[in-house]
Structure formats: structure tokens, C-alpha cells
Structure 1
Amino acid sequence: MEIYIISAIFIALALYIYSKTRRRKQEPFPKKWHKLLLDNVHFYSSLSKEKQLVFQNRMMQFLSEVYIESVGFTLTDLDKVFVACSAVIPVFGFDEWHYNNLSGVLLYPDHFNNDMEFDSKAESRSIGGIVGNGRLENQMIFSRKALYSGFLNKTDKNNTGIHEFVHLIDKMDGIVDGIPEALIPHQYAMPWLKLIHKEIEAINDDKSDIRQYGGTNQAEFFAVASEYFFERPDLLRVKHPELYKMMKECFNQKPQSAT
């Protein structure tokens, strides 16, 4: 497994250096991706034809600014589509958005552990995605299996791709703390904090249908609640109307449920 760890670090460093020295020209949207999106990404299929064109352009803009590489398998079109969608969906309510704190995305074939091991013999392989720090700063790593599950299971409230990109948005002000200054105006910070703590308390008292992991801390609550908002917005509106209203204002959009 050491060779995969070294390979991942090498790829991450290479992507970072290359992204700092050269920006690629934005490529045209591949026509065959339209069907991939319609078949696999409800957020996209629920958009009007005009908004779908905007979404396509935003995907290609993201892919011109961020490199995607695979470790241990050959990258496919659907891999690229799911990564790009994970990036675009949370910020689709804003006309202009660039992930200035991201240069590359690495895809592992399966869940991995803290040592970046994903082999079936490795212990504690429970990580589906991380926003890199230290030697992996400006990088993001996904389990391909977890990434796919987030889009192909349309009845749950989970989406690993969206979860990690929400963390990245949160990190844009320098700290991942559940209070993304890029999305939440200063005057709403205190009401948002009060709501977070009320919801976290409910989770930890087993009085909420929000995923247990959201009760870990403010940052994880924000990411988990965002998954819920984009995966099952109608259910969130019924179960947690105050949270739904705040998330709608935060992301400046009103997504449609698949169910």
C-alpha cells in the first residue's frame, strides 16, 4: 500500500504546482454528458433547459480550474461528472463562484483510512472524503464508491461529494467552523449559531432525523444539514422548517426533491 500513498501525495503535489503555473482553456461541454446528468443527477434533471445550459457551463468552468486524477483505476466520464456536480450544486445559486482554495481532486476506488490506505486488508477504512490539509493542502480526496452512492441513492439524505465541497466553502474564510462567511452575512451569524446548537442538541438527544454525524460539531452539522437540504429539501422543510429557511437563504436556491 505504500506505493499508493506515495503516489497520491506525488499526484497531489504535481497538481498543485501545475495549477499554479498554468490554467487550462475551458473545454466545450461534451454532448454525451447531458444523458449522464439526466440519468444520474436529479438536481440537474429538475432544472429548466435554460438553467441546464448554465449548469453545464459551470461544470466546465470548474473542470478548467481543478484537476481530477484517479489512484488505482482509470478515470471515467461519470467520475468527472459527479465531482463537478458536487462542486457546482452547493453554489449554483450564485452567478460567479471559484474554488480558489482547491487545485486538485484525487479519487480512490474505495473508502480509505487516515493513512490513505484503501486496500481491503487495510484497517479502519471508513473515510469517504476529506478536504486536505498540510501536505495535501488545496486538495480533496474522495472514495469513488462513496461519491457514486451519494448520487445514485436518491431516497437517503446523504451525499459525500456535496458534504466535502460544503466543508471547502466553509474553509474559504480560513477555518472550518460551520459558519461560512462567504454564504452567511454577519448579521445572521448569531441566529445561525443558535439554530445549530439547538439542532445539535436534538441530534445528540436522539430527537432528530438528521444524521447522527451532524451532532459531532458545528462544521459537521453544517455539512450534514447541507446534504439533507440538497437531497431531500421537501422533507427538511416539513421536519425542520426553521433550518430549511436558513439553508435556503444561505445557498440562495430552492432545490427540488427526487421523491
Structure 2
Amino acid sequence: MFSALRRWRRRRQADRMSVSAAQWEQVEQSLPFLAWRPAEDRPMLRRMALEFLAEKQVHGARGLAISDEMLLSIALQACLPVLHIGLDAYADWVGIVVYPGDFVIPRSIVDDAGVTHEYHDEVLGEAWEGGPVLLSWFDGNDAPAGINVVIHEFAHKLDMGNGEVDGYPALPADMPPAAWAAAFKPAYDDFCRRVDDGEDTALDPYGAEHPSEFFAVMSEAFFETPRLLRGEYPAVYAQLSRYYRQDPAAFEPETGNGP
């Protein structure tokens, strides 16, 4: 009952929003991986982006003013992974905080001797379980190459769907967890080995930090450089294709990355 009411309110709010075709196109041109998506995806993605903005609260940190273009860009990227899953995958939180560039989060860890160590961690984004998504925003050429902060952090939100941030999101009934593990675990082990050996990997080496980061980095590649991911780890690509219910490698131009 409450889910149905939430969806109704979300649709009603989105109906009241007005975005011109020129404004959509301007934002989409800044996200080149949207250009080769199937034509039928565009109106679906735009509509979902409006419904996303209808129920999320986006705030700028450190005096950052949030423009309409920024809102649309974040919404389009956040909705791309759930285009065929549904916005209810993001239903348990509302807040998005956007920082001008990278930012620092104070952390503390307790070592084996019981001693607490405090430090400051410089990050590009962070997703909190049951809480907000923190994102960095860069203008123009200042953006870090080969990294999609929005898709990465929203992949973490999906990962949290099963209660743990472990690289295993809540899978649909037709996806056996054993098949997911059979694809991801050997790929993660191989990737960690390659990174540890000092290889200059085409995929972001940050994926070797933890299985959850591997899932998030592979999700970035799935949407931005799918042919590259399919060439590097075809079994991972196949599982992500089933999970996201999309096959972006089938549409990426052959001049793109990978076979």
C-alpha cells in the first residue's frame, strides 16, 4: 500500500516538472555513453530521471549551487542502472549531497591491539546504508578520467539491497547466486593479482580494494565501456547484463573500447 502511494506521489510530482528538449539534449551531450543507447531508452530514462528528482533531495556542500543541469545529469546517471529494475531499488533513502570536487571524511579504525587510529580519507564519493549518497562534482576537464562517480556510488546503493556491502546485490529470482559468485569471484581474484603485480589495467585498479568496489567499478565499465568489460571479463559482463537487464556492448560503436 505505502509503495503504491509513494509511486503515485512520485509520478504526480514528475508530471509537474518541465524540461525543454534543448535542456535534455545539452545535458545528454555531456554524457557521451548515452549517445549510443537504443532510441527507445531515451524517453524512458528522461521520465525516470524526473521521478527520481521528485522524491530525492539534492543539496550542495561548501556553498556549491546546484543548477538544473547538475540535477538532470545526476538523475540520468543514477537512473541508468535501474532503467529496467525500477526506482524502488532506491526507495529507502532520500538525500544526495554534492561537493565541489573531492572531499575528506574523518574515519577511525581499531587495530588488533584495540588501539583506535583516526585519519582523514580523501574521497570522490560515498554511499551510506540507509542514508545519503555523497558525490563530488567537477567542471569540464577537472573531472578524473575513466571514473563515473555517480554510477559507482549508486551501484553501492544497489549492493546494499541484500543488507551487506559485499559485491552481491539482491538478485532477482531468475538469477542463481551461485552463478553470480562463479563469475565474480575468479574475476576479482584475477584482477587483484594483476593490480598487485603492477599491471597498468584498463579497468580502474580501485576495483581491487574490495569485492564491493569491484562490483561498483565493473558497473561503471558496464555502462561506459561495455565492450572493454566484455573483453576483459565476459562472465562478469554476462551476469551484469542479466542483472541490469541491458546489453550496452551490443550498441557501443566498434571504435569504442574492447572487442
Q: Tell me which interval the TM-score lies in, with the shorter structure as reference length.
A: 0.7 to 0.9
Match for 2:128: what amino acid?
Answer: G
Match of 2:218 in 1: 225
Q: 1:234 aligns with which of 214, 227, 230?
A: 227
**Distance in 2 between residues matched to 1:203 and 1:243, nearest whole Å:** 18
Corresponding residue SS for 1:114: strand
CA pair 29-188 structure 1, distance change in 2 beyond 3 A: farther
Equivalent in the alignment of 1:66 = 56
TM-score by length of structure 2 reads 0.75
Q: Is the 8 A contact 1:29 1:57 kept in 2?
A: no
Q: Which residues of structure 2 form unaligned runs of 5+?
A: 1-5, 108-118
Tell me the CA shift for residue 199 of structure 1. 3.0
Is contact 1:169–1:182 with CA below 8 Å preserved after alignment?
no
Find 1:197's aligned residue among 189, 201, 226: 189
- 1-side partners of 2:189 and 2:243: how far apart? 17
| CA spacing shift, 1:185–1:163, aligned 2, 3 Å | same
- 1:193 and 1:159 map into 2 onto residues whose CA distance is 23
Distance 1:247 1:149 in 2: 30
* 5+ long unaligned stretches in structure 1: 1-18, 117-122
Aligned to 1:102: 93
For the 8 Å contact 1:129–1:143, the answer to whether it is kept is: yes
Give the secondary structure class of the aligned counterpart of 1:93.
coil
When normalised by structure 1's length, the TM-score is 0.75
Relative contact order: is structure 1 or structure 2 higher (C-alpha 8 Å, sep ≥ 6)? 1
Cα deviation, residue 29, structure 1: 4.8
Q: What is the 5 A alignment of 1:117-128?
A: 126-128=122-124
SS of alignment partner, residue 105 of structure 2: coil
* In structure 1, distance between residues paired with 2:64 and 2:28: 25
1-structure distance, mates of 2:65, 2:87: 32
For 1:168-187, list aligned pairs within 5 A: 168-182=157-171, 185-187=176-178
Secondary structure of 2:59's match?
strand
Q: Does 1:28 align with 2:24?
A: no
Letter of the 1:248 counterpart = S
Question: Structure 1 residue 140: deviation in Å?
Answer: 0.9
Shift of 1:229: 1.7
Separation (CA, whole Å) in 2 of partners of 1:217 and 1:239 = 18
Residue-by-residue CA offset, 1:37-91 (whole Å, 9 max, x unaligned): 3311223322344321111111011111211111212210121022112211112
Judge conservation of contact 1:106–1:141 (CA < 8 Å) in 2.
Answer: yes
The whole-number CA distance in structure 2 between the counterparts of 1:96 and 1:141 is 19
Provide the residue aligned with 1:83 in structure 2. 74
Q: For 1:15-54, what aligned pairs fall within 5 Å after superposition?
A: 25-26=13-14, 27-31=16-20, 32-54=22-44
Shift in CA distance, 149/54, structure 1 to aligned 2, threshold 3 Å: farther
- The residue number in structure 2 matching 1:13 is none
For the 8 Å contact 1:108–1:143, the answer to whether it is kept is: yes
Q: CA deviation at 1:102?
A: 2.2
Secondary structure class of the residue paired with 1:106? strand
Counterpart residue type for residue 25 of structure 1: Q
**SS of residue in 1 equivalent to 2:198:** coil
Alpha-carbon distance between aligned partners in 2 of 1:149 and 1:161, rounded to the nearest angstrom: 17
Q: Is 1:131 aligned with 2:120?
A: no
CA RMSD of aligned residues (A): 3.0
Shift of 1:167: 0.4
Kept in 2, the 8 Å contact 1:29–1:56? The answer is no
